[in-house]
Amino acid sequence: MTDTRFEAVFEDTDDLLGGIDVDEIGDVETLLMFLFARPVVVEEVWDDEGVAPSLEVIMQGNDEAIGSVCAFPLSIIELARSCAETVDELGPYTGDGVAAEETPDVSAMSDGELIAALQQALGKVRLFSMLDGGE
């Protein structure tokens, strides 16, 4: 059975959070941190009408960070692929004691491999949330 929640296209942040069954945008940030083995910042970008039509994602490199905006409609796979392009520009991350060989090459993953990696990362997010006391 295929896990389609990562391929589903979401219209907004609430749909995305509900679709992958997480509580807040910080959980998406943590998901990407586990997937890419590097610091990540994810924030909602609000328009003049108070709607969050996109997400700003900042990927940390060793010496610099690169931010990009990912607009809805959006799937988690599209978000991960977009982030992978940024990671490729930044190069391997070796900060915080992470060895270059521990950094996954998300760009080279097939959709099936990426879904498996996202499932593992989501499991880590849930465990992290439980250990953190659900704050």
- Tens-place pLDDT, residues 61-85: 999 999 999 999 999 999 999 999 9
Identify the burial level of 32 via C-beta atoms within 10 angstroms of its C-beta, where 0-12 means exposed, 13-18 middle and 19 or more buried: buried
The answer as to whether 2 is a domain residue is: no
pLDDT at 106: 93
**pLDDT higher than 90, residue 134:** no
The answer as to whether 109 is a domain residue is: yes
**pLDDT higher than 80, residue 132:** no
Domain that holds residue 18: 13-126
- Kindly indicate the confidence band of residue 94, based on its pLDDT and cuts at 50, 70 and 90: confident
Q: Considering the entire predicted model, what is its pTM? A: 0.89
Taking residues 33-52, report their average pLDDT.
89
Q: How far is CA 125 from CA 31, 35, 48, 108, in A?
A: 6, 10, 32, 23
Taking residues 28-34, report their average pLDDT.
96
Domain count, the chain: 1
**Partners of 40 in beta bridges:** 59
The answer as to whether 60 is a domain residue is: yes
